[in-house]
Structure 1
Amino acid sequence: MTIRPVPLGTSVGRIPVVDVSPVAEAGRFPAKAVVGEAVPVRATVFREGHDAVAATAVLTDPSGVDRASARMVDIAPGLDRFEARLVPTSTGNWTFRVEGWSDPYGTWVHDATIKVEAGVDVELMLAEGALLLERAAARKGADAMPREAERVLKEAVMGLRDIRDTPQARLSAGLSGKVHEALAAHPLREHVTSSPSYPLTVDRPLALAGSWYELFPRSQGAKYDPAAGKWQSGTLRTAALDLPRIAGMGFDVVYLTPVHPIGETHRKGPNNSLFADLGDPGSPYAIGSPAGGHDAIEPTLGTFEDFDAFVATAQELGMEVALDIALQCSPDHPWVTEHPEWFTTRADGSIAYAENPPKKYQDIYPLNFDNDPEGIYTEIRRVLQVWIDHGVTLFRVDNPHTKPLDFWARILESVREDHPEVIFLSEAFTRPAMMQTLAKIGFHQSYTYFTWRNTKDEITEYLEEVSGEQGAWMRPSFWPTTHDILPPYLQATGVRGFAVRAVLAALGAPTWGIYSGYELVEDVPRPGVDEQIDNEKYEFKPRDWSKADAIGINLLLGRLNELRHTHPALRQLRNLRVLPTSDDALVAFAKHLDAEHSPTGRADTIVVIVNLDPWNARSGTVALDLHAFGLDPDRPVVAHDVLSDETYEWGQSVFVRLDPMVRAAHVVNLVGL
């Protein structure tokens, strides 16, 4: 049977297939997936009259070969909404489509069951069933039934025509489980109508699921010299000495803030003050000095040889290196003299520095992408290549929403074509339309509003939002804090609050990250600002990691990352289900992956229950939809808490009590008895 997808913009076809997802902007932008991800494909499929309809989802690889197909399941009876999950097996530009079709066997089953039971047209219905199964068994070519399935159908035909038996027994022959299995695997499809083929970009798994650890390399090993009255910077070599500790907590990515030369002109001092003392390191985001620009390394950090050694050590420990890309310049950047046209000149002849009124950033000149877009594009693409050639495989892009989207689309397409392994994280805490469009044009991952979601309603609504339809293009990255953000919840809640947010971030999204110092519960804000006092952007911040074990957050981080590596359900995005709770401080959600789509071949179900109240024990009931997890709702299940190593028996509804003095959460693996 030849099936040709309906081109975009044409009629609906014989069996209408509409409202297909995941589709971004009617296919203008590709949806996203990673190798091994179970991608939910949905569509509304219907027809005139009362005959049964069905649907098949088809996945096509970059060479144009159909690699996978799955019979879709009606997920909204009465609303004609169907779903199947497809798993791409390699990176590249895939497509998918949905085929709607008339199901003559489904129609016959419905009609014959009713009529034979009522004694209406009994012989006629049995005869039509026999003819239908004969036709299904006699198919040739690509639609031919396997020999065993053909035998099952022929035996059913004999039973349907056996007039020595009762009508009910004859009907049962056509309705047997074996017949259903044979026709489920090899359905008889009529009036097959395909949707258009929609684009699906498939990346490597780290684009969806990974844990990031952010650090300022200059703080690692920094020392204060009392005799000289100034600090000695840490280096890439001293920072590399801390990598085993980070790898020991199970992080996949070590992310470096900018390592480029820092300007002297208008250098900022501690806590963003306008005046820097001799020896103050300045902000690494004020990029550029006589030592070079974005393609150079700050001399106090070391050399490219030192950088290569850092990358090599990280890779030996099983981690990849991400680098911050901030497309802005200090007044001392070589571009300022070599390409003054790349900046905005004000009426008085001065170059405009960055502003976010009333804030002023005198140490930074923003690029003007309208003055020489081609020249700027060529240079930035060259700069990225420098770092890719030195082993950087991920880029965290600072404030991409302040640069033109067509510039990013071109950069991302070029890098993807030459280096499909490279991943870009968008740091755009901005309006939803911009965040969404940055994701659609090619950013692999996105910072989110998670940091500011605090109440039960806010958190559950946001979890459903990022794991829903928009998860087809915007992969969320959850960060409890960053070097710029210390949210009020963490300012007031201490160790218990840090534990709660770590659990929510690590298990609520496949990608999450922490900023160095989270293990030490750094929670003192700069007055009037939701950021840490003594911000590391403007000064050295060496830390005493020997105190971490006594606090215990580092142990929790390690356990959470271990669970993420062990349980494939936690490395998926679009499988999250919020669970109802009876207490307004209890947040509960589940992540489930069925055996068919699990890399282990076994179903995986994790239930997370968190008490948001860091001061008081809270209790209540949690409603578990065991049927949705492939478990028998009428039988108890084994509930193994993988944080505490305790085991319970749970049912459809479970009572829990979480005391923040004892534990931050239940993280439970459900297994049927």
Structure 2
Amino acid sequence: MSLRLAIEDVVPAVGAGRFPAKAVVGERVDVGATVYREGHDAVRAELVWHRPGERGEHRRPMELTDAGLDRWTGALVPDRSGYWTYRVDAYSAPWHTWLDALTTKLAAGFAADELANELAEGELLLLRAARRVPGADGRRLRAAARALRDRHAALPQRTGPALDAAVRHIMDTRPLRELLTRGPTRRLLVERERALTGAWYELFPRSTGGLDPDGRPVHGDLRTAVAHLPGIAAMGFDVLYLPPIHPIGRTARKGRDNAATALPGDVGSPWAIGAREGGHDAIHPRLGSAADFRAFVRAAADHGLEVALDLALQCAPDHPWVTEHPEWFTTRADGSIAYAENPPKKYQDIYPLNFDNDPAGLRAEILRVVLHWVGEGVRIFRVDNPHTKPLDFWRWLIERVKQTDPDVVFLSEAFTRPAVLHGLAKVGFSQSYTYFTWRTSKAELTGYLRELTADADHLRPNLWVNTPDILPGHLAGAPPAMFAIRAALAATLGPSWGMYAGFELYENTPAGPGREDYLHSEKYELHYRPPADAESRPSLRPWITRLNRLRHRHRALGRQRGLVFHDVADDQLVAYSKTDDRTGEIVLCVVTLDPVRRRQAPLRLDAQALGLSPDRPLRLRDLATGRSRTWHDNAVVRIDPGVAVARFFTLEQV
């Protein structure tokens, strides 16, 4: 820190500046700093940034938003992906010091002879500035300097040109800087829009093969999975996430319901990766070829879907790495390779990787695998259990991949301790699974989403309603309205949300009392669900489609930082709004947490938090009916879960 000018408390500063802050292309990044110096001389602050791939810097004046606390703010809107840098510079501003002193003394009635020094000093400052300003602007500054020197003119005529708005603008935009002090340089990881917002759908391609004459599921492949794309796209999803598509190990293969011994015909867990047919860069022969995968990616794109691939860095005992690189695993005292355990659970079909014995070799191979799939058209990876691998490895891998393609997105499946979840986000993961899956009460939801919003500089939540591993307790045996409630909350509270196939069909049978996993889990067997156009069972598809359409039409629902909760006098009703940082549009959501009873209660909007005047009326437009009405404080909101579990409005001042 300079002894003359201080630049402190610069934000965003993730991990005190050790990690990059995050943004997406087109998202406004607000930067703030405390800037001050001794005495009363004027100080100015500038936001300075550098785009990736460019040599020069860009700078913009910051605004003094709190004079009492010396707080300055500015903003930049990144226009390309990659690693940016930004900092706050401060300088002593002699022109503004002079201007403040002159205008104060003129207002106090000082005469020309009392202002002789001020007028001479102003002349010198204008001439100094004119030497740096070409053309008409420079001539304007020199003319203002001559006027200050003209002792025969009246004081208003001498000072008028220097106080003119045009001269002030020139001196503001081409300032004289003294004691220029550079603040700390921070990094900003800018990613494409999909790194922040999107709706995800998880599908097992092997479960798309239909039924045999006896009603048993037939093993599907990437070709049969294409038939499911239109229905998934019609629901408005943006990302189609595939569990691992690689060969599955045969040694210690798990049977149905996670049985320790597989029976003939059992397909095994796709997360037990690797067999004689290959490892992480191979495709399971029963799913198809590399050409089939590329065709599937193209077909998905034709339906507006982007394919996300699972990156599960673990191996079945048959994986080629086990024999070719035994040093990449942990050898136990008896000479055997350690399999995964989470006592009392044992995963004999999975060998965890050991990053200590040959970190350089293992890193190089994993980078090769990831870039192989990037070359096959994959730009999104859902990463399985990243919290079991070193943070420095992830930081290295993500940065290396983004050097090749800055548009690659990484989703962290970090169902782990909060510190580790946040640590993974800080080292570069684009998005993170969260604990939303287990937050059910109004207090839990509002408190947790406020936490996530406060951490928006590094953590982007992806709210999942279920996964193949997790059937949340509130869904087990629940009525359809509870599924609609959780979908509404996930789709509108977070910038991204996700669901595993079967949620829209109300699948909710747990493996046993108190269990939070599915009976007959699809992880270990085939579950055929007909494509949407052939499905005859009751379905949540129309509601999911409406939610995703709302997200596409109203950009605010895909934002994270603009979330504000509002007071509604019922613990079973949650009210919140989200604001589009680009257009200012505000979307108001009211969701019931009661799947059975009609609820109604007064709603008080927090106009101040929204930047609205509490003295001017508000207009609400119902996004279901299109009808508008003027809103008054404490008006009653009503929700009947038999009709719809949520109501959505746009909100504007009139």
Does residue 207 (structure 1) correspond to residue 195 (structure 2)? The answer is yes
Change (3 A) 1:350 1:524: same
More off after superposition, 277-286 vs 122-131 = 122-131
Unaligned runs of 5+ in 2: none
Indicate the residue corresponding to 1:23 in structure 2.
Answer: 13
Q: Distance in 1 between matches of 2:440 and 2:138?
A: 57
CA distance in 1, matches of 2:609, 2:173: 23
SS at structure 1 position matched to 2:596: coil
Question: Secondary structure of the equivalent of 1:513?
Answer: strand
How far, CA to CA, are the matches of 1:105 and 1:613 in structure 2? 63
1-structure distance, mates of 2:104, 2:321: 80
Matching residue of 1:569: 556
Report the counterpart of residue 665 of structure 1 in structure 2.
Answer: 646
**Partner Cα distance (1:485, 1:495) in 2:** 18
Q: Could you report, residue by residue, the CA deviation over 1:367-403 in whole angstroms, capped at 9, with x for unpaired residues? A: 2222332332232222223222221111111101112
Offset of residue 536 of structure 1: 1.0
Among 566, 578, 584, the alignment partner of 1:579 is 566
Deviation for aligned residue 1:239? 0.6
The offset of 1:82, in angstroms, is 3.4
Q: How much has 1:104 moved relative to structure 2? A: 7.8
Q: Any idea what the Cα deviations from partners look like across 1:484-532, whole Å, max 9, x if unmatched? A: 1122222254322222222222222222221112211222222132122
Letter in 1 for 2:290: F
> What displacement does 1:131 show?
9.0
Asked if 1 retains the 8 angstrom alpha-carbon contact of 2:33 and 2:73, the reply is yes
3-state secondary structure, aligned to 1:202: strand
| Alpha-carbon distance between aligned partners in 2 of 1:112 and 1:548, rounded to the nearest angstrom | 79
Which residue of 2 is the match for residue 217 of structure 1?
205
Aligned to 1:525: 510
Correspondence for 2:446: 460
Q: Following TM superposition, by how much is the alpha carbon of 1:351 offset from its aligned partner in structure 2, in angstroms? A: 2.1
Whether the 8 Å CA contact 1:592–1:605 is kept in 2: the answer is: yes
Partner of 1:500: 485
**Given the superposition, is the C-alpha separation of residues 647 and 391 from structure 1 closer, same or farther in structure 2, using an over 3 Å criterion?**
same
Quick one: distance in 2 between partners of 1:147 and 1:278? 85
2:343 — aligned with what? 357
Aligned partner of 2:588 in structure 1 is 607
Equivalences for 1:73-222 in 2 at 5 Å?
A: 74=65, 78-101=68-91, 139-140=129-130, 192-222=180-210
Distance in 1 (alpha carbons) for counterparts of 2:602 and 2:335: 67
| 1:412 counterpart SS class | helix
Correspondence for 2:301: 315
Counterpart code for 1:636: P
Letter of the 2:357 partner, please give it: N
- Tell me if the contact between 2:621 and 2:627 (Cα under 8 Å) persists in the aligned partners: yes
1:554 aligns with 2:541: yes
Instruction: Judge conservation of contact 1:499–1:664 (CA < 8 Å) in 2.
Output: yes
Number of corresponding residues: 645
The TM-score normalised by the length of structure 1 is 0.84
**2:98, 2:122 within 8 Å by CA — same for their partners in 1?**
no
1:263 aligns with 2:249: yes
Partner of 2:416: 430
Q: 1:277 aligns with which of 263, 267, 271?
A: 263
For 1:490, the equivalent position in structure 2 comes to 475
- Quote the offset at 1:342 in angstroms: 2.5
Distance 1:112 1:669, change over 3 A: farther
Matching residue's letter, 1:84? G
Q: CA deviation digits over 1:293-335, x for unaligned, max 9?
A: 2222112212112111101101222222111111112222222
Q: 1:286 and 2:272 equivalent?
A: yes
- Whether the 8 Å CA contact 1:559–1:643 is kept in 2: the answer is no
SS across alignment from 1:25:
coil
Task: Describe the shift of the 1:349–1:456 C-alpha distance in structure 2 as closer, same or farther (beyond 3 A).
Answer: same
Q: Distance in 2 between matches of 1:172 and 1:646?
A: 55
Q: Structure 2 counterpart of 1:572, which letter? A: R
Alignment partners' CA distance in 1, 2:503 and 2:459: 26
2:465 & 2:435 partners in 1: Cα distance?
10
Shift of 1:456: 1.9
1:3-53 deviations in whole A, cap 9, x for unaligned?
A: xxxxxxxx2453322111112233322222221111121222334456665
- In structure 2, what is the Cα distance between the partners aligned to 1:135 and 1:650? 58
Query: Once the 2 structures are TM-superposed, how far is the Cα of residue 102 of structure 1 from its aligned partner?
Result: 5.6
**Residues 1:116 and 1:141: Cα distance change in structure 2 (over 3 Å):** closer
Superposed counterparts of 1:385-400, under 5 Å: 385-400=371-386
SS for the counterpart of 1:435 is helix
CA separation of 1:79 and 1:492: change in aligned 2, threshold 3 A: farther
Decide whether aligned partners of structure 1 residues 24 and 563 sit closer, same or farther in structure 2, where only a CA change above 3 A counts: same
1:42 and 2:32 matched: yes
Matched, 1:66 2:54: no
- How far is 1:336 from its partner? 2.4
Q: Secondary structure at the match of 2:85?
A: strand
The answer as to whether partners of 2:254 and 2:261 remain within 8 angstroms in 1 is yes
Aligned equivalents of 1:411, 1:272: Cα separation in 2: 32
Single out whichever of 43-52 and 142-151 deviates more from structure 2: 142-151
Q: Which moved more, 1:627-636 or 1:191-200?
A: 627-636
Q: State the secondary structure of the residue aligned to 2:456.
A: helix
1:187 deviates by 7.1
The answer (yes or no) to whether the contact 2:442–2:574 under 8 Å persists in 1 is yes
Deviation at 1:193, TM superposition (A): 3.6
Q: Residues 38 and 145 of structure 1: is their aligned pair in 2 closer, same or farther, counting only changes over 3 Å?
A: farther
Any idea what SS the aligned residue of 2:474 has?
helix
Equivalent AA in structure 2 for residue 325 of structure 1: L
Cα distance change, pair 451–190 in 1 and its aligned pair in 2 (3 A)? farther
**What code does the residue aligned with 1:210 have?**
G
Q: Please state if 1:512 is matched with 2:493.
A: no
Pair 1:593–1:64, CA change in 2 (3 A): farther
Deviation at 1:359, TM superposition (A): 0.8
Corresponding letter in the other structure for 1:15: L
The 10-residue stretch of structure 1 (51-60 or 453-462) with the greater mean CA deviation from structure 2? 51-60
Distance of 1:346 and 1:307 partners within structure 2: 38
- Structure 2 residue 462 is matched with structure 1 residue 477: yes
Q: Distance in 2 between matches of 1:116 and 1:416?
A: 58
Deviation at 1:569, TM superposition (A): 2.7
Aligned residue for 2:311? Answer: 325
Question: Could you say which residue in structure 2 is the equivalent of 1:647?
Answer: 628
- Name 1:6's counterpart in structure 2: none
Aligned in 2, Cα 1:102/1:232: closer, same or farther, shift over 3 Å?
same
Query: Which of the residues 612, 617, 627 maps onto 1:636?
Result: 617
Q: 1:336 to 1:191 in 2, by over 3 A?
A: closer
The CA deviation string for residues 609-648 of structure 1, in whole angstroms up to 9 with x for no partner, is 2222223333334443445545443222321222443322
- Specify the SS of the correspondent of 1:580: strand
RMSD: 3.8
Unaligned runs of 5+ in 1: 1-10
Q: Does 1:374 align with 2:364?
A: no
Q: Offset at 1:198?
A: 1.2
- Which amino acid in the other structure matches residue 340 of structure 1? P
* 1:298 matched residue in structure 2: 284
Distance 2:644 2:168 in 1: 49
Could you report, residue by residue, the CA deviation over 1:130-165 in whole angstroms, capped at 9, with x for unpaired residues?
A: 9999889774366789869979x97xx99xx9x999
Amino acid at match of 2:50: T
Kindly tell me: are residues 587 and 352 of structure 1, through their superposed partners in 2, closer, same or farther at Cα, counting changes over 3 Å? same
Q: In the alignment, is the contact (CA less than 8 A) between 2:7 and 2:36 conserved in 1?
A: yes
Per the TM alignment, residue 279 of structure 1 is displaced from its structure 2 partner at its CA by 1.8
